[in-house]
Amino acid sequence: MTRDRALLIGIIGLVGCAAGLVLAPRQALIAWLVCWLGWGSIPIGALALLMLVALIPGSWRRLYAQPLVLGTTLVPLVAIAMIPLLVGVELIYPWTANGATAGYAAFKAVWLSTGFFVVRTVVYLLALTLIAWALLAASPRMRGPIAAAGVIAYALIGSLIGIDFAESTQPEFHSSIYGLLALTNQWLAGISFAILLGLWSSDGKAPLAAAGVLVTALLMWGYMHAMQYIVIWAGDIPAEARWYIERGRDDWGALAWLLYGLQGLVTFAALLSPTVRASRRAMMALAGLTLVMRVIENAWLVLPGMAGIGWPVAPLMVAASLAMLGFGWAGALALRRREETWNEPEWVGKARSV
Amino acid sequence: MADRLLGLIGEFGSEETLLEAAKQAKAEGFRCIDAFSPFPVEGMAEVLCLERDHRIGWITIIGGLVGFFGMLAVQLFVNVDYPVEVGGRPLFAWPAFFVVDFEIMILGAVTFAVAGMLIINRLPKLYHPLFGTPRFGLASADRFFLYIDASDPRFDAERTRGFLGSLGAWTVEAVLP
């Protein structure tokens, strides 16, 4: 696909979003938020994984380094895509309403104040962009230190992205695991993006690193979801139980089964087979499924608790996805680097420095 | 020496000579051969045509399923047989059951994997005719052994003994029941 065609898809998506913004502004913004959380996880997850690639040598670099570099170059786009949400923050989050925070505890009232929220968002995205820029611009010798510091910052920012942008849509809900859910969501996005791109541009068998890293993140993801559910079920506190009841009835219940069935059971069972693990096509299919499931998961996490959401949110999400994928693709084509030295074996660097 | 001959075992001094001997034995047409060394010899699995065995994976899965559903059955039985009302909890509290089922699933999978590995390897085995050859104990110290079984179609007591000698075996011993 050429850059022009990708841009065209992006513009079509944007036109759809703009139409939605006129006709149903709240739903359009919420659809954009869900897609931002889903597709935006790709560059953020790619940055997180690239920092680990910089820190942990091994054969996985051959598959992951190049696509993750590409994903990381797109982090500024994620920051730009946040702008509409900051402008329309009062249409999205219930705690922005006048007097909504009056009943909150002091810390929560300060944390969920519009001004502080906007400042925090800018800080998160600026920090991620800076880390991404520093890591990509650094000499191979400096990548380790930057990645080590960046991973620590990312662990906080990545969790807070989930807590601030998704969990706070229902301020009465509280779950300590939510930040980790957001992190695993980002890892799955980054990993499957890298697998999809890395295997697409290669041929032959899929390396074991593809399935190995994916299944690790998948187990982590399943564990987080299962633990949150079991803890809340056992605690049986109304505000928390309600969160699951809302997400378990009607169509949302069906969506939950789709999410946990396809992303959890089917993907895990498929990865048990050595044939699937070695097959390029099968691994690409699983990675593609995982990417789509990021949007489904965030829709399931965010939408059921939002008032005033109807069917228009579905086409609006399609429009937002087109816009993000189109501009993301065009950006990837424009920003891709010709020469990268992430893949070279350790000894090459050592041999040069002698 | 009225006993039936089970096979011949040749003693070698290094992994290279053992690997070379195994290759030549295979080239000579011997099929029922085995090798013994104090540590894994790289390339030996290919020479001996040891195929990857996927049975242990399936045994592990079966063990996990047995553990999961076995424990679930125990919990269902206990709750039906002796129902206890706990703060309005349903009789079949699936989320609470799941934690225990998961743990027992891991236990079942691991137990089956270890037991299956032992059974497939035909262990524990307290005696094997090879132990009867005086020098075989050195296989766990610093010697390398190549064994040719008498059931091999090309086996002939005298000629195979000569063949092992020609490969450079330091000693060749008969394996008797």
B4-33: per-residue pLDDT in tens? 888 999 999 998 999 999 998 888 888 888
The helix/strand/coil state of A172 is coil
Give the model's pLDDT for residue A99.
Answer: 81
Q: Is residue B72 part of a domain?
A: yes
Location of structure tokens 């849509």? A169
Q: How far apart are CA B33 and CA B53, in angstroms?
A: 19
**Domain span holding position B105:** 55-120
Of B82, B101, B120, the residue that ends a domain is B120
Substitution target in A215, A223, A225, A230 with the highest count of B β-carbons within 10 Å is: A230
Residue ending a domain, choose from B120, B137, B162? B120
Please give chain B's pLDDT, 177 residues, in tens: 456 888 999 999 998 999 999 998 888 888 888 899 999 888 888 888 777 778 998 999 999 999 999 999 999 999 999 998 887 888 898 888 999 999 999 999 999 999 999 999 888 888 888 888 888 888 888 999 999 988 888 888 888 888 988 988 898 988 888
User: What residue type is assigned to position B94 of the chain?
Assistant: W
DSSP-based three-state secondary structure for B12: strand
Return the pLDDT at B89: 82
Co-location of B66 and B96 in the same domain: yes
Six token digits for residue B98? 């799941």
| Confidence at residue B108, expressed as pLDDT on a 0 to 100 scale | 97
Place of tokens 């075992």: B9
Question: H or E segment at B173?
Answer: strand B172-175
CA distance A10 to A329: 9
Whether B1 maps to a domain, the answer reads no
C-alpha distance from A232 to closest chain B C-alpha (Å): 10
Which pLDDT value is given to residue A338?
Answer: 54
- Is the CB of A272 less than 8 angstroms away from the CB of B61? yes
For chain A, give every domain's residue range. Answer: 13-336
Number of domains in chain B: 2
| Residue B2 domain flag | no
The pLDDT, as a whole number, for residue A34 is 96
Which pLDDT does position B1 carry in this prediction? 47
Give the span between the Cα atoms of B62 and B111, in whole angstroms: 11
> How many residues comprise chain B?
177
pLDDT 10s digits, A328-350: 999 888 877 655 566 554 554 55
Identify all chain B residues contacting A274, using CB atoms and an 8 Å cutoff: 54
Per-residue exposure over A113-140, b if at least 16 CB sit within 10 Å of its own CB, e if not: eeeebeeebeebbebbbebbebbbeeee
What DSSP state is assigned to residue B156?
-
Which candidate in B52, B97, B99 is best for mutational testing of the A interface (most A CBs within 10 A)? B99
The contacts of residue B47 (CB under 8 Å, 6+ apart) are B19, B22, B23, B26, B35
The closest CB to that of A229, out of B57, B87, B95, belongs to B95
Q: What is the Cα–Cα distance from A237 to A220, expressed in whole angstroms? A: 25
Verify whether the Cβ–Cβ distance B98 to A274 is below 8 Å: no
Q: What is the pLDDT of residue A344?
A: 53
Q: Is residue B144 situated within a structural domain?
A: yes
Helix (H) / strand (E) element for B144: namely strand B144-149
Question: What integer pLDDT is reported at residue A353 of this predicted model?
Answer: 56
Residue B69 and residue B19 in one domain: no
Strand pairing category for B144-149 and B172-175? unpaired
B99 in contact with chain A, both atoms CB, cutoff 8 A: yes
Closest residue on chain A to B87 (Cα): A236
Yes or no, beta carbons of B99 and A230 under 8 Å apart:
yes
Determine the pLDDT at residue B85.
Answer: 85
Low-confidence ranges of chain A (pLDDT < 70): 1, 337-354
Other CB atoms within a 10 A radius of the CB of residue B13 amount to 13
Q: Which residues of A touch B61 (CB under 8 A)?
A: 272
CB-based contacts of A102, cutoff 8 Å, min separation 6: A109
